[in-house]
Amino acid sequence: MACYSIRVNVHLVDGTYELFRHHFAVPPSQAANGTQIAAVRGVLGSLLTMLEEGATHMGVATDHAIASFRNDLWPGYKTGEGTEPELLAQFPILEDGLRALGIVVWAMDDFEADDALASAAAKAAPQAERVIICTPDKDLAQSVIGTHVVQFDRRKRQLFDEAGVIEKFGVPPASIPDYLALVGDSADGFPGLAGWGAKSAAALLACYGDIDSIPDDPDEWQVTVRSAARLAATLAENRELAALFKQLATLRTDAPVFSDLDELRWRQPAPSLAETAAYLRAPWLLERAQALAASRR
Protein backbone atom coordinates (compact mmCIF):
# COMPACT_ATOMS: atom_id res chain seq x y z
CA MET A 1 0.00 0.00 0.00
CA ALA A 2 1.33 3.43 -0.93
CA CYS A 3 2.39 5.72 1.92
CA TYR A 4 1.80 9.46 1.70
CA SER A 5 4.03 11.93 3.50
CA ILE A 6 1.26 14.44 2.87
CA ARG A 7 -2.24 13.00 3.21
CA VAL A 8 -4.38 13.67 0.15
CA ASN A 9 -7.88 14.85 -0.61
CA VAL A 10 -9.94 12.29 -2.52
CA HIS A 11 -12.74 13.40 -4.85
CA LEU A 12 -15.48 10.85 -5.54
CA VAL A 13 -17.82 11.94 -8.32
CA ASP A 14 -21.35 10.81 -9.18
CA GLY A 15 -20.95 10.35 -12.91
CA THR A 16 -24.62 9.52 -13.43
CA TYR A 17 -25.72 12.78 -11.85
CA GLU A 18 -23.09 14.73 -13.80
CA LEU A 19 -24.23 13.24 -17.10
CA PHE A 20 -27.89 14.07 -16.39
CA ARG A 21 -26.94 17.56 -15.21
CA HIS A 22 -24.95 18.39 -18.32
CA HIS A 23 -27.49 16.79 -20.64
CA PHE A 24 -30.08 19.34 -19.55
CA ALA A 25 -27.65 22.24 -19.23
CA VAL A 26 -25.67 22.35 -22.48
CA PRO A 27 -26.76 22.76 -26.11
CA PRO A 28 -27.06 19.53 -28.14
CA SER A 29 -24.04 18.43 -30.14
CA GLN A 30 -23.50 15.41 -32.34
CA ALA A 31 -20.55 13.27 -33.28
CA ALA A 32 -19.90 12.60 -36.96
CA ASN A 33 -22.06 9.47 -36.76
CA GLY A 34 -25.01 11.45 -35.37
CA THR A 35 -24.70 10.33 -31.74
CA GLN A 36 -25.38 12.96 -29.11
CA ILE A 37 -22.16 13.80 -27.25
CA ALA A 38 -22.80 17.19 -25.62
CA ALA A 39 -23.30 15.85 -22.09
CA VAL A 40 -20.16 13.71 -22.29
CA ARG A 41 -18.09 16.66 -23.42
CA GLY A 42 -19.53 18.73 -20.60
CA VAL A 43 -18.71 16.16 -17.92
CA LEU A 44 -15.19 15.51 -19.19
CA GLY A 45 -14.46 19.22 -19.39
CA SER A 46 -15.86 19.80 -15.91
CA LEU A 47 -13.78 17.03 -14.32
CA LEU A 48 -10.68 18.17 -16.17
CA THR A 49 -11.23 21.59 -14.62
CA MET A 50 -11.33 19.96 -11.19
CA LEU A 51 -7.94 18.38 -11.91
CA GLU A 52 -6.56 21.66 -13.19
CA GLU A 53 -7.74 23.34 -9.98
CA GLY A 54 -5.75 20.90 -7.87
CA ALA A 55 -7.65 17.63 -7.46
CA THR A 56 -5.11 14.80 -7.41
CA HIS A 57 -7.03 11.62 -6.51
CA MET A 58 -10.35 11.00 -8.22
CA GLY A 59 -12.82 8.23 -8.92
CA VAL A 60 -16.09 8.42 -10.85
CA ALA A 61 -19.05 6.06 -10.41
CA THR A 62 -21.70 5.50 -13.08
CA ASP A 63 -24.87 3.45 -13.39
CA HIS A 64 -23.80 1.34 -16.35
CA ALA A 65 -27.14 -0.42 -15.93
CA ILE A 66 -29.86 1.72 -14.36
CA ALA A 67 -31.51 -1.28 -12.67
CA SER A 68 -29.80 -2.92 -9.68
CA PHE A 69 -30.34 -5.60 -7.03
CA ARG A 70 -32.83 -3.24 -5.37
CA ASN A 71 -35.28 -3.76 -8.23
CA ASP A 72 -35.65 -7.36 -7.04
CA LEU A 73 -36.57 -6.09 -3.57
CA TRP A 74 -39.16 -3.48 -4.57
CA PRO A 75 -40.97 -3.54 -7.94
CA GLY A 76 -41.42 0.23 -7.95
CA TYR A 77 -37.72 0.96 -7.57
CA LYS A 78 -36.24 3.28 -10.19
CA THR A 79 -35.40 2.01 -13.66
CA GLY A 80 -34.24 3.66 -16.86
CA GLU A 81 -37.82 3.80 -18.12
CA GLY A 82 -38.68 7.27 -19.38
CA THR A 83 -35.06 8.36 -19.72
CA GLU A 84 -34.29 9.88 -23.09
CA PRO A 85 -32.50 7.39 -25.38
CA GLU A 86 -30.04 10.14 -26.36
CA LEU A 87 -29.02 10.36 -22.71
CA LEU A 88 -28.79 6.63 -22.04
CA ALA A 89 -26.63 6.19 -25.13
CA GLN A 90 -24.02 8.53 -23.66
CA PHE A 91 -23.24 6.39 -20.59
CA PRO A 92 -20.77 4.03 -22.34
CA ILE A 93 -19.28 6.99 -24.22
CA LEU A 94 -18.73 8.79 -20.92
CA GLU A 95 -17.15 5.74 -19.30
CA ASP A 96 -14.75 5.29 -22.22
CA GLY A 97 -14.00 9.01 -22.21
CA LEU A 98 -13.16 9.01 -18.51
CA ARG A 99 -10.78 6.10 -18.94
CA ALA A 100 -9.15 7.87 -21.88
CA LEU A 101 -8.76 10.96 -19.73
CA GLY A 102 -6.96 8.82 -17.15
CA ILE A 103 -9.69 8.92 -14.49
CA VAL A 104 -10.70 5.78 -12.61
CA VAL A 105 -14.25 4.67 -13.43
CA TRP A 106 -16.57 2.34 -11.53
CA ALA A 107 -19.30 1.35 -13.98
CA MET A 108 -21.92 -0.39 -11.85
CA ASP A 109 -24.23 -3.16 -13.02
CA ASP A 110 -25.73 -5.02 -10.05
CA PHE A 111 -24.75 -2.28 -7.61
CA GLU A 112 -25.62 1.40 -8.07
CA ALA A 113 -23.25 4.31 -8.53
CA ASP A 114 -24.23 5.46 -5.02
CA ASP A 115 -23.03 2.13 -3.62
CA ALA A 116 -19.69 2.59 -5.35
CA LEU A 117 -19.34 6.09 -3.92
CA ALA A 118 -20.19 4.88 -0.41
CA SER A 119 -17.76 1.97 -0.77
CA ALA A 120 -14.98 4.19 -2.05
CA ALA A 121 -15.57 6.73 0.73
CA ALA A 122 -15.36 4.04 3.39
CA LYS A 123 -12.18 2.64 1.85
CA ALA A 124 -10.48 6.02 1.36
CA ALA A 125 -11.36 7.53 4.74
CA PRO A 126 -8.61 5.86 6.81
CA GLN A 127 -5.85 7.13 4.47
CA ALA A 128 -7.12 10.41 3.08
CA GLU A 129 -6.86 13.85 4.60
CA ARG A 130 -10.40 14.42 3.40
CA VAL A 131 -12.93 12.61 1.22
CA ILE A 132 -15.24 14.80 -0.87
CA ILE A 133 -18.28 12.99 -2.28
CA CYS A 134 -19.43 15.10 -5.22
CA THR A 135 -23.18 14.61 -5.53
CA PRO A 136 -26.36 16.25 -4.20
CA ASP A 137 -28.03 12.85 -3.74
CA LYS A 138 -29.52 12.71 -0.25
CA ASP A 139 -28.62 8.99 0.03
CA LEU A 140 -24.93 9.86 0.29
CA ALA A 141 -25.50 11.94 3.41
CA GLN A 142 -25.29 8.64 5.32
CA SER A 143 -21.60 8.38 4.36
CA VAL A 144 -20.64 11.73 5.89
CA ILE A 145 -18.25 11.54 8.88
CA GLY A 146 -17.56 14.69 10.88
CA THR A 147 -15.58 17.09 8.70
CA HIS A 148 -13.48 14.24 7.30
CA VAL A 149 -15.91 12.69 4.80
CA VAL A 150 -18.14 15.39 3.34
CA GLN A 151 -20.73 15.79 0.61
CA PHE A 152 -20.38 18.50 -2.02
CA ASP A 153 -23.04 19.76 -4.43
CA ARG A 154 -20.93 21.01 -7.33
CA ARG A 155 -23.79 22.82 -9.05
CA LYS A 156 -24.82 24.84 -5.98
CA ARG A 157 -21.30 24.93 -4.53
CA GLN A 158 -22.66 23.69 -1.20
CA LEU A 159 -20.64 21.50 1.16
CA PHE A 160 -22.21 19.39 3.90
CA ASP A 161 -20.23 18.00 6.79
CA GLU A 162 -21.91 16.13 9.65
CA ALA A 163 -23.22 19.33 11.23
CA GLY A 164 -24.57 20.36 7.83
CA VAL A 165 -26.41 17.05 7.41
CA ILE A 166 -28.03 17.48 10.82
CA GLU A 167 -29.02 21.05 9.97
CA LYS A 168 -30.52 19.97 6.64
CA PHE A 169 -32.36 16.79 7.65
CA GLY A 170 -32.66 17.08 11.41
CA VAL A 171 -30.89 13.75 11.93
CA PRO A 172 -27.24 12.62 11.90
CA PRO A 173 -25.79 10.68 8.95
CA ALA A 174 -26.31 7.29 10.60
CA SER A 175 -30.09 7.92 10.70
CA ILE A 176 -30.46 8.91 7.03
CA PRO A 177 -31.59 5.42 5.87
CA ASP A 178 -34.27 5.37 8.61
CA TYR A 179 -35.31 8.91 7.69
CA LEU A 180 -35.70 8.00 4.01
CA ALA A 181 -37.56 4.82 4.92
CA LEU A 182 -40.17 6.87 6.75
CA VAL A 183 -40.53 9.84 4.38
CA GLY A 184 -39.78 7.99 1.13
CA ASP A 185 -37.54 8.89 -1.77
CA SER A 186 -39.39 9.75 -4.97
CA ALA A 187 -36.15 9.77 -6.97
CA ASP A 188 -35.57 6.12 -6.09
CA GLY A 189 -39.20 5.09 -6.37
CA PHE A 190 -40.31 4.12 -2.86
CA PRO A 191 -43.02 6.08 -1.01
CA GLY A 192 -42.20 5.81 2.69
CA LEU A 193 -45.00 5.39 5.20
CA ALA A 194 -48.30 7.19 4.78
CA GLY A 195 -48.55 10.39 6.79
CA TRP A 196 -44.92 10.48 7.83
CA GLY A 197 -43.23 13.71 6.82
CA ALA A 198 -39.84 15.29 7.27
CA LYS A 199 -40.66 16.98 10.60
CA SER A 200 -42.20 13.96 12.31
CA ALA A 201 -39.48 11.61 11.07
CA ALA A 202 -36.70 13.97 12.12
CA ALA A 203 -38.20 14.55 15.56
CA LEU A 204 -38.57 10.84 16.36
CA LEU A 205 -35.24 9.78 14.88
CA ALA A 206 -33.36 12.61 16.56
CA CYS A 207 -34.66 11.16 19.81
CA TYR A 208 -34.48 7.41 19.13
CA GLY A 209 -31.85 7.09 16.40
CA ASP A 210 -33.52 4.38 14.34
CA ILE A 211 -36.96 3.06 13.48
CA ASP A 212 -36.69 -0.10 15.58
CA SER A 213 -36.18 2.00 18.72
CA ILE A 214 -39.38 4.05 18.24
CA PRO A 215 -42.04 2.64 20.62
CA ASP A 216 -45.32 1.41 19.19
CA ASP A 217 -47.23 3.26 21.91
CA PRO A 218 -47.24 7.01 21.21
CA ASP A 219 -47.80 7.66 24.92
CA GLU A 220 -44.24 6.45 25.42
CA TRP A 221 -42.78 8.87 22.88
CA GLN A 222 -40.41 11.32 24.51
CA VAL A 223 -41.05 14.00 21.89
CA THR A 224 -44.24 15.73 20.80
CA VAL A 225 -45.35 15.40 17.18
CA ARG A 226 -48.62 16.17 15.46
CA SER A 227 -50.98 13.26 14.80
CA ALA A 228 -48.85 11.01 17.00
CA ALA A 229 -51.53 8.34 17.42
CA ARG A 230 -52.07 8.03 13.67
CA LEU A 231 -48.33 7.95 12.91
CA ALA A 232 -47.72 5.35 15.60
CA ALA A 233 -50.50 3.14 14.26
CA THR A 234 -49.12 3.39 10.74
CA LEU A 235 -45.64 2.49 11.90
CA ALA A 236 -46.86 -0.40 14.06
CA GLU A 237 -48.78 -1.86 11.12
CA ASN A 238 -45.97 -1.36 8.62
CA ARG A 239 -42.72 -2.16 10.38
CA GLU A 240 -41.78 -4.84 7.84
CA LEU A 241 -42.37 -2.38 5.02
CA ALA A 242 -40.33 0.27 6.82
CA ALA A 243 -37.51 -2.25 7.21
CA LEU A 244 -37.64 -2.95 3.48
CA PHE A 245 -37.51 0.75 2.64
CA LYS A 246 -34.57 1.15 5.01
CA GLN A 247 -32.81 -1.67 3.19
CA LEU A 248 -33.42 0.12 -0.10
CA ALA A 249 -32.05 3.37 1.32
CA THR A 250 -28.97 1.84 2.94
CA LEU A 251 -25.95 2.11 0.69
CA ARG A 252 -23.68 -0.89 0.34
CA THR A 253 -20.02 -0.48 1.22
CA ASP A 254 -18.81 -3.71 -0.41
CA ALA A 255 -19.02 -2.65 -4.05
CA PRO A 256 -15.84 -3.38 -6.05
CA VAL A 257 -13.86 -0.13 -6.21
CA PHE A 258 -10.11 0.07 -5.53
CA SER A 259 -7.48 -1.75 -3.49
CA ASP A 260 -4.92 1.00 -2.99
CA LEU A 261 -5.54 4.72 -2.71
CA ASP A 262 -2.71 5.36 -5.15
CA GLU A 263 -4.89 3.85 -7.88
CA LEU A 264 -6.96 7.05 -7.75
CA ARG A 265 -4.02 9.39 -8.35
CA TRP A 266 -4.34 11.13 -11.70
CA ARG A 267 -1.14 10.96 -13.69
CA GLN A 268 -1.81 11.49 -17.37
CA PRO A 269 -4.33 10.74 -20.12
CA ALA A 270 -4.30 7.40 -21.91
CA PRO A 271 -3.07 7.24 -25.52
CA SER A 272 -6.68 6.68 -26.58
CA LEU A 273 -7.59 10.26 -25.60
CA ALA A 274 -6.46 11.51 -29.00
CA GLU A 275 -9.06 9.33 -30.71
CA THR A 276 -11.67 10.14 -28.07
CA ALA A 277 -11.13 13.89 -28.40
CA ALA A 278 -11.45 13.63 -32.18
CA TYR A 279 -14.71 11.66 -31.87
CA LEU A 280 -16.09 14.21 -29.41
CA ARG A 281 -14.94 17.08 -31.60
CA ALA A 282 -13.07 18.41 -28.61
CA PRO A 283 -9.38 18.93 -29.47
CA TRP A 284 -9.09 21.15 -26.39
CA LEU A 285 -9.64 18.06 -24.25
CA LEU A 286 -6.40 16.47 -25.41
CA GLU A 287 -4.46 19.74 -25.29
CA ARG A 288 -5.50 20.57 -21.74
CA ALA A 289 -4.94 17.03 -20.44
CA GLN A 290 -1.46 16.85 -21.95
CA ALA A 291 -0.56 20.26 -20.57
CA LEU A 292 -1.77 19.25 -17.11
CA ALA A 293 0.21 16.01 -17.19
CA ALA A 294 3.34 17.90 -18.20
CA SER A 295 2.89 20.34 -15.31
CA ARG A 296 2.73 17.49 -12.79
CA ARG A 297 5.90 15.68 -13.85
pLDDT in tens, the chain (297 residues): 444 435 899 999 999 999 999 999 999 999 999 999 999 999 999 999 999 999 999 999 999 877 788 988 888 888 777 789 999 999 999 999 999 999 999 999 989 999 999 999 999 999 999 999 999 999 999 999 999 999 999 999 999 999 999 999 999 999 999 999 999 999 889 999 999 999 999 999 999 999 999 999 999 999 999 999 999 999 999 999 999 999 999 999 999 999 999 999 999 999 999 999 999 999 999 999 999 999 998
What is 9-163+252-282's CATH number?
A: 3.40.50.1010
User: What integer pLDDT is reported at residue 92 of this predicted model?
Assistant: 96
How far is it, in rounded angstroms, from Cα 227 to Cα 230? 5
pLDDT digits (tens, 9 = 90+) for 141-164: 999 999 999 999 999 999 999 999
Q: Are strands 9-14 and 130-134 parallel, antiparallel or unpaired?
A: parallel
- Tell me how crowded residue 186 is: count the other CB atoms within 10 A of its CB: 10
Residue 206 burial by CB count (10 A; 0-12/13-18/19+): exposed, middle or buried? Answer: middle
Average pLDDT, the chain: 95
CATH topology of domain 173-249: DNA polymerase; domain 1 (1.10.150)
Give ranges for CATH 3.40.50.1010 in the chain. Answer: 9-163+252-282
| 88-106 tens-digit pLDDT | 999 999 999 999 999 999 9
CATH 1.10.150.20 maps onto the chain at 173-249
User: What pLDDT sits at residue 66?
Assistant: 75
- CA-wise closest residue to 175 among 195, 204, 155, 147: 204
Long-range CB pairs of 92-96 (<8 Å, 24+ gap) are 92/64, 93/35, 93/37, 93/40, 94/15, 94/19, 94/39, 94/40, 94/43, 94/44, 94/62, 95/15, 95/62, 95/64, 96/272, 96/276
- How far is CA 171 from its chain centroid? 19
Give ∠ CA 189-192-194 in degrees, rounded to 5. Answer: 125
- The DSSP code sequence of 32-91 is TTS-B-HHHHHHHHHHHHHHHTT--EEEEEEESSS--THHHH-TTS--STTS-HHHHTHH
pTM to 2 decimal places: 0.94
CA-to-CA distance for 127 and 142, rounded, in angstroms?
A: 20
